[in-house]
A = this chain, B = another copy of it.
């Protein structure tokens, strides 16, 4: 078709508005606020919740539109959420262009998966590329994840997905044939073995460049705990320097884009409380392949309130994991362990750091379970790395702890990362006592984690929960079962109120 009338100066596909930083934290989601009656919304027919393409120079993002009906946003303005502002790298007064995004072609591949088509390598790449580009809304992400769970992923599909997730991000490489790594499947408070394992393994001359995550829904991630003892936000060049110098590091992985699709998908999986086997394998292995690892120990706590709830589920997961790992040249080993109660005593960044330091310094009162678990996992890594025969790794790990070499190595790693620190101490503490005498019968991992979060962890580094009892311990009436640590009186009060209405968090069985 062509116009029969006079030529009109029709606008191109995009409109321009002045960018304004609105100061709204929406987490990962990019949001743009425009006036409902602004020329762009009117001419484009945009309505709230439309997904729009925003461009500023070379950068572009997809943002969700909300519309202002008051003078909160002017007619010539596009007000942006923090995530949108940062990703577009804007200064106040910059101009951005706004247009309809291209239609999301890869969505037809998601629909195909729903109706039973296989996810080929090409399909995986198309979907994951769009996911990383921020083109999928929560609705799309949730549909993809659900489709992969309702019709379980075939081995070939897990391989395709893992490869696509690796290819869509950065990759690290190391000057070593054997690059060790360790991963814990989450869900167990206080399971902070990483700093101990890295110290043992690196002290023995092996290479273990460990990237860890911060807490998302838990009271502490390994990066949060480690940060109370040393800086963890290192640039890639600095990470390489630390690892070359010390053989190992314990840094935050968020600064490097290893399998960025994983971070996006995991958030939605968590909201659905849905962890299908195939997705878990692709998630773990894509991060490890991208990190350049060659040998991997997977720590799998099994218990009724842990992520993996039975030995059978753990076994099934292991079979798939070994096969996919092998296809990518990674030697993997799954170590299952007791997931019925928290590990160590502290829950919260500084409190967990105290446990780590006690084990590394071989203190008399160091938590035995944390020490034993770290030794078991480090031993398995030593065997996997070829430094010890099968069955002798744990003894070597224990020796390396006991002779102080691991503690010395840990201090050197901390110094190399920017200088060792002393974990902060909480300002407010309050013991919670058992209402009856008896034996500790059950500890609810999820409720203990929530108590620590209400007390302020992980933002308040010193906040959290210090457990005084383990399963099976005999207690008398009024004996403190745990102590709540907080930095603000309000947070302490709120945690105590929660404890008050959840007495079954630590269950004492009368005899």
Q: Which residues on A are within 8 Å of B, measured CB to CB? A: 1-5, 8-13, 22-29, 31, 33, 36, 39, 42-45, 47-49, 66-70, 72, 81-82, 107, 111, 114-115, 137-143, 145-147, 149-151, 268, 271-274, 430-435, 453-454, 456, 459, 478, 480-481, 488, 490-494, 496-497, 499-501, 503, 505-506
Contact = CB atoms under 8 A, between A and B. Distances in A.
Interface of A is mostly: mixed
A496 B272 contact: no
A140 B271 contact: yes
A5 B20 CA distance: 50
Contacts of A9: 493
A505 B10 CA distance: 18
A1 B48 contact: no
B2 A432 contact: yes
Contacts of A24: 33, 66-69, 72
A48 B499 CA distance: 25
Nearest to A33: B24
Given A42-B490, A143-B143, A27 B48 contact: yes
Residue of A143, A492, A500, A501 with most chain B CB atoms under a 10 A cut-off? A143
A475 to B, nearest CB: 11
A145 B505 CA distance: 35
Contacts of A496: 3, 8, 10
A67 B26 CA distance: 7
A481 B66 contact: no
Taken together, the copies of this chain in the complex come to 2
A60 to B, nearest CB: 20
Contacts of A494: 10-11, 43-44
B25 A69 contact: yes
A311 B434 CA distance: 70
Contact of A25 (B5, B36, B137): B36
Given A49-B29, A497-B10, A1 B111 contact: no
Contacts of A139: 138-139, 141-142, 268, 271-272
Contact of A433 (B3, B68, B70, B480): B3
B490 A43 contact: yes
21 contacts: A1-B432, A1-B481, A8-B492, A13-B501, A23-B69, A23-B72, A24-B66, A26-B49, A26-B66, A43-B454, A44-B454, A107-B273, A114-B149, A114-B150, A139-B141, A139-B268, A140-B272, A142-B142, A146-B147, A150-B150, A150-B151
Contacts of A434: 1
A25 B68 contact: yes
